[in-house]
Structure 1
Amino acid sequence: MPFSFPPGRARIAAATACALVLTTLLGCSNGGGGGGGETASTTTGPSAGSGTQVTISDFTFQPASLTVSPGATITVVNDDTTTHTLTATKGGAFDTGDIDPGKSATFTAPSKPGDFPYDCTIHPFMKGTLTVE
């Protein structure tokens, strides 16, 4: 027996809810590790590496704004239930590539001072800023 959606607005709401659930469950992926900029390494464990850390949890970067010295090592820990990235939005200054749940990645901050906005390329509503000074 096939599933049928209710008529009218309820149909749109039901279809939207199904799409959101599927996107969350499947952890949509951009299929690549990004390109250009600083390279990142992925490790296992909740807090691999030392120094400055950004944690991804509940589809947010914590902290969303971070100030570091030029060339600092930044560890990104994915404590969420789906894959994420932390990727500079302009100029390819850094990109962690895909970080699976429970994993972490590190990257090196740019050597030149400035503000570097970033997002998750899989979930672009996730935003933050890395300030190098």
Structure 2
Amino acid sequence: MPFSFPTGTARLVAAGACALALTTQVGCSDGGGGGGDSATESATRSSTDGGTQVTIKNFKFQPASLAVSPGAKVTVVNKDSTTHTLTASKGGSFNTGNIAPGKSVTFTAPSKAGDFPYTCTIHPFMKGTLTVK
């Protein structure tokens, strides 16, 4: 028996359900660390107290630009529905590995000053910069 594709409102509902199913299947690998705290969602944040946080939400790093002291602890909290990473783009300075939804990972910022671009290796369109000063 052939399949008949719905029309009108039923067609829109079916298309929306398909889009939702595809969206939730992106980046299905598992991993990550323990729980995390709530995070600021400002555009830029600085830390001189030895620790700070990046939140991943809506397929974005928040904040996208982060300034820290050398050797600062940076906690990355994944508040998205899929797994992400926060990985230095060059030189392997830092890599959280996979962070599952609802989990967090802490890494140590490089000890030398400079700008360190980073990305999510699962979703390369996600980008940010860690500035060590």
Q: TM-score, normalised by structure 2?
A: 0.72
The number of aligned residues is 113
Larger-gyration structure (1/2): 2
Superposed CA offset, 1:59-99 (max 9, x none): 00000000000000000011111111000010000000111
Partner amino acid, structure 1, of 2:62: Q
Trace 1:1-133 onto structure 2 (pairs within 5 A). Answer: 1=1, 23-28=22-27, 42-47=33-38, 51-133=51-133
Q: TM-score, normalised by structure 1?
A: 0.72
Q: How far, CA to CA, are the matches of 1:68 and 1:127 in structure 2?
A: 17
Percent identity (aligned) = 69
Q: How far, CA to CA, are the matches of 1:59 and 1:82 in structure 2?
A: 9
1:124 deviation in Å?
A: 0.4
Structure 2: runs of 5 or more not aligned? 6-17, 40-49
Structure 1: runs of 5 or more not aligned? 6-17, 34-40
Q: How far, CA to CA, are the matches of 1:2 and 1:108 in structure 2?
A: 58
Partner amino acid, structure 2, of 1:114: G
* Kept after mapping to 2: 8 A contact 1:52/1:73: yes
SS at match of 2:101: coil
